[in-house]
Amino acid sequence: MRRGKLVVGNWKMNGGLEANASLLVALLAGWTPSAERSLAVCAPFPYLGQVRDALTGSKLAWGAQDLSPHSAGAYTGDVAGAMIAEFGCRYVLAGHSERRQLHGETDALVAAKAKAALAAGLTPLVCVGETLAERDGAGWQTVVGRQFDAIAAALAADLARVVLAYEPVWAIGTGRTASPAQAQEVHAFLRQRLQKSSAEAVQVLYGGSVKAGNAGALFAMPDVDGGLVGGASLDAVEFLAIAGA
């Protein structure tokens, strides 16, 4: 059975103690929990304690934006899933396109990170998506299919425990959103692959310049189970409007 819609804010490398406090207060004041809609924010590592203190006991969940594939050891600067879990996180992003592009993360590394997240009791929110050059070249089916297959092969039956996010790279932070039909086409493709692996209950979120003005049409698509929201998640009014769309 499919679950309700999930909207997750990715703060990226933005925020500060003061700005976060105002944002969290506004989210807590404005969010009306419902059985059909869930809301979460993914904050930079240094702020996970602040987010935990603000959101504990509320209906808002929180998470981190990356994790190490390793559980502990000589990995200077890295953060293990168990450390993130200690801060009450439910989610952690894995394979965001900015990690894939700026840090050279491969499909195999993303799959290892998703596995490490599950081992730490976290829900990995695994991102897939093609660049414009890939869409025009090999085609999104080839790229998204390859990214999905790497995760499915590594996780096997545990694939049912992840959240997927389709984020076309050409739509992230560009103001250029996939049309609802374009998003639905890719989500249906992912759903079909999930069904083949008996993981059809997995939520598949759309990400890429989601705003209050386009969220309703995107979320109305039958295979779009919510959104992963970057820039617009830093504005409480806009983010709440997206969450309610």
- Binding-site string for ligand PEP from residue 64 to residue 103, where x marks contact by CB under 6 A and - marks none: ----------------------------------------
| Of residues 12-71, those binding ligand PEP (CB under 6 A) | 12
| Alpha-carbon gap, residue 135 to 129, rounded angstroms | 9
Choose one: 69-77, 81-89, 188-196, 201-209; the region binding ligand PEP (CB under 6 A).
201-209
- Binding-site string for ligand PEP from residue 127 to residue 166, where x marks contact by CB under 6 A and - marks none: ----------------------------------------
Q: Is 103 known to be catalytic?
A: no
Under the criterion CB under 6 A, does residue 230 sit at the interface with ligand PEP? yes
Active-site entry in 96, 98, 105, 130? 96
Under the criterion CB under 6 A, does residue 209 sit at the interface with ligand PEP? yes
Select the residue interacting with ligand PEP from 120, 231, 242, 245 (CB under 6 A): 231
**Smallest distance from the beta carbon of 173 to ligand PEP, in angstroms?**
4
Under the criterion CB under 6 A, does residue 110 sit at the interface with ligand PEP? no
Helix (H) or strand (E) holding 9: strand 5-10
Q: 216 with 227: CB under 8 angstroms?
A: no
| Alpha-carbon gap, residue 13 to 28, rounded angstroms | 22
Tokens of 204: 């598949």
Q: 144 with 110: CB under 8 angstroms?
A: no
| φ and ψ at residue 46, rounded to 5 degrees | -65, -20
What DSSP assignment string belongs to 111-138?
Answer: HHHHHHHHHTT-EEEEEE---HHHHHTT
**Smallest distance from the beta carbon of 236 to ligand PEP, in angstroms?**
15
Bridge partners, residue 38, by sequence = 6
Select the residue interacting with ligand PEP from 144, 204, 228, 243 (CB under 6 A): 228
Active-site entry in 98, 105, 130, 167? 167
Query: Which residue's beta carbon is nearest to the bound ligand PEP?
Result: 230
Select the residue interacting with ligand PEP from 110, 207, 225, 242 (CB under 6 A): 207
What DSSP assignment string belongs to 158-221?
Answer: GGGG-EEEE--GGGTTSS-PPPHHHHHHHHHHHHHHHHHTT-TT--EEEESS--HHHHHHHHTS
Cβ closer to ligand PEP: 80 or 210? Answer: 210
3-state secondary structure of 37: strand
Residue whose token pair is 């904050």:
43
Q: Is 167 known to be catalytic?
A: yes
In the complex, which residues of this chain contact ligand PEP (CB under 6 A)?
10, 12, 167, 172-173, 207-210, 228-232
What are the catalytic residues? Answer: 96, 167
